Chain A
């Protein structure tokens, strides 16, 4: 009897230790840890959190070219996404920046135009302006585009030779322009850059 009592004490202590281990494991190991698939150790919810956040900034590439937006020659809006020449394979957002908020609002807000803020005139409003005012806006936009275009086309060590590069915009303008204070888009269309 005396020995059985000793064994009982050991059994009870063992049970208490095992129960404590289960409680500690339950408290420390997060739910779904190592559950799926077997051998892959991570908190299951972490994958979902990664997939859900953060909110998108860049929209799907196909968004812009939808027919109801800027797609093809028959686009509902007069801005269309037909690209030609050296720029034909460039994604819209590469130049225009992230457009998810614009797409999500169905084009109602955050129009990703590459214009100086003061030249952000709506198309309808622009059409109503007198010719001189339109010219002023065009010039301001073209001048603003110089900095933007040169982000890619400035001649710089390291750039591939296949990329058209300009060492000096002033020189380039004097050689090829009409002498006016023109910017890049005065001569080249950004969507069809070949002259």
Chain B
């Protein structure tokens, strides 16, 4: 009888593969036929790229995000204000212009403190004590930036949003599994399961979570990359509203996609990779101060 038996070597090699499979989990075998992009988990479907050299700090993205997702302005916002209609932008373009001229912000008592995305301004200035770095994001950059009185040596804007990490600490600490990673790699929050404990707010190293009390209780809201849009083949609202192409969104599985092609052929960076969260939003030309 010609019986096929498993030799010791095959057994050890097979055991090793099983061990690696268990340790790496779903990253070990990408779906058949997919062209992968280095640095992204096998299941990730989309890529988000921020070109910091193109951002002009106009605040379009922050206003678009609020309009598209009806983002609460403050944590104390009343439950009845959770209307499905997009909130009107009360401030005129003129008032935003006056703000950049150094005038006080209109409705300063109503300044929003909650955002799903915002834009930070980094400026190197000359002071009597030497060179200093100033970082500001008044009202998340939603309504522009005031002028800087000191002598400016260098400056740039950096849009910030949820990094949709491959190993998100907010998912790990959630006691009710309300925060989860979707099968496409988007980190979402289930508002029906969130109890508002705030662990994820403490755990996120990027400060991307905020409490929204309009549900009658606290729900730790976050950027979804406009999941309701991207699943329909549209771009996130912040990308659609960006006038300079500083925010770009692409499909990872498509090697012809301009964003995927850019990431594959250029040096791109992530913010604070040392946290171990493996952030998935890629940035170009990031300065040391941001990293």
Q: Which residue of A lies closest to B184 (CB)?
A: A47
Please tell me if the beta carbons of A98 and B68 are within 8 angstroms of each other in the complex.
Answer: yes
Residues of B within 8 A of A147 (CB): 92-98
Stretch at the interface among B10-18, B144-152, B202-210, B250-258: B144-152
Given A54-B84, A61-B240, A94-B60, CB of A158 within 8 Å of CB of B123: yes
Q: Given the complex of chains A and B, what is the CA–CA distance between A46 and B235 in angstroms? A: 21
Please tell me if the beta carbons of A163 and B56 are within 8 angstroms of each other in the complex.
Answer: yes
Q: Which residue of B lies closest to A154 (CB)?
A: B100
B70 on the A face (CB < 8 A): yes
Within 8 A of B (CB), among A114-159: 114, 144, 146-148, 150-152, 154, 156-159
Residues of A within 8 A of B94 (CB): 144, 146-148
Residues of B within 8 A of A (CB): 25-26, 53-60, 64, 67-70, 84, 86, 92-98, 100-101, 121-123, 144-145, 147-148, 152, 155-157, 177, 180-183, 188, 190, 192-193, 224, 227-229, 231-235, 237, 240-245
Residues of A within 8 A of B98 (CB): 147
Across the A-B interface, give the 7 residue pairs with the lowest CB-CB distance, nearest first.
A147-B94, A158-B155, A42-B180, A46-B190, A94-B243, A148-B93, A157-B152
Residues of B within 8 A of A58 (CB): 64, 67-68, 229, 234, 237, 240-241
Q: Given the complex of chains A and B, what is the CA–CA distance between A148 and B181 in angstroms? A: 39
Within 8 A of B (CB), among A31-86: 33, 36-37, 39-43, 46-47, 49-58, 60-61
B87 to chain A, nearest CB (A): 10
A160 on the B face (CB < 8 A): yes
Q: Which residue of B lies closest to A50 (CB)?
A: B227
Please tell me if the beta carbons of B183 and A37 are within 8 angstroms of each other in the complex.
Answer: yes
Please tell me if the beta carbons of A89 and B245 are within 8 angstroms of each other in the complex.
Answer: yes
Please tell me if the beta carbons of A61 and B193 are within 8 angstroms of each other in the complex.
Answer: no
A153 to chain B, nearest CB (A): 9
Q: Can you list 28 contacts pairing A with B, beta carbon distance less than 8 Å? A: A30-B193, A36-B183, A40-B183, A41-B177, A42-B177, A42-B180, A42-B182, A46-B193, A50-B227, A50-B228, A51-B227, A54-B228, A55-B84, A56-B228, A56-B229, A56-B234, A58-B64, A94-B240, A94-B243, A98-B68, A144-B94, A146-B97, A147-B92, A147-B96, A147-B98, A154-B101, A156-B147, A159-B57
Q: Given the complex of chains A and B, what is the CA–CA distance between A49 and B58 in angstroms? A: 32
Q: Which residue of B lies closest to A46 (CB)?
A: B190
B71 to chain A, nearest CB (A): 10
Q: Given the complex of chains A and B, what is the CA–CA distance between A17 and B57 in angstroms? A: 61
Question: Among the listed A43, A46, A94, A148, which residue makes an inter-chain contact with B242, where contact means beta carbons less than 8 Å apart?
Answer: A94
B236 to chain A, nearest CB (A): 9
Q: Given the complex of chains A and B, what is the CA–CA distance between A144 and B142 in angstroms? A: 20
A95 on the B face (CB < 8 A): yes
Residues of B within 8 A of A90 (CB): 243-244
Residues of B within 8 A of A52 (CB): 228
Please tell me if the beta carbons of A151 and B58 are within 8 angstroms of each other in the complex.
Answer: yes
Residues of B within 8 A of A152 (CB): 56, 58, 243
A93 on the B face (CB < 8 A): yes
Q: Given the complex of chains A and B, what is the CA–CA distance between A47 and B231 in angstroms? A: 10
Q: Which residue of A lies closest to B181 (CB)?
A: A40
Question: Among the listed B145, B182, B190, B224, which residue makes an inter-chain contact with A156, where contact means beta carbons less than 8 Å apart?
Answer: B145
Q: Given the complex of chains A and B, what is the CA–CA distance between A59 and B136 in angstroms? A: 31
Q: Given the complex of chains A and B, what is the CA–CA distance between A132 and B70 in angstroms? A: 43
Residues of A within 8 A of B25 (CB): 39
Question: Among the listed B59, B190, B244, which residue makes an inter-chain contact with A42, where contact means beta carbons less than 8 Å apart?
Answer: B190
A169 to chain B, nearest CB (A): 9
Q: Given the complex of chains A and B, what is the CA–CA distance between A43 and B191 in angstroms? A: 11
Q: Given the complex of chains A and B, what is the CA–CA distance between A57 and B65 in angstroms? A: 10
Q: Given the complex of chains A and B, what is the CA–CA distance between A81 and B4 in angstroms? A: 71
Task: Tell me which of A51, A58, A60 has the highest count of chain B C-beta atoms within 10 A of its own C-beta.
Answer: A58
Please tell me if the beta carbons of A57 and B68 are within 8 angstroms of each other in the complex.
Answer: yes
Q: Given the complex of chains A and B, what is the CA–CA distance between A163 and B55 in angstroms? A: 10
Please tell me if the beta carbons of A54 and B96 are within 8 angstroms of each other in the complex.
Answer: no
Within 8 A of B (CB), among A144-195: 144, 146-148, 150-152, 154, 156-160, 163
Q: With A40-B183, A56-B228 given, can you name 15 additional A-B contacts, CB distance below 8 Å?
A: A36-B183, A40-B182, A42-B182, A46-B192, A50-B227, A52-B228, A54-B69, A54-B84, A58-B240, A61-B235, A91-B241, A91-B243, A93-B64, A154-B100, A157-B123
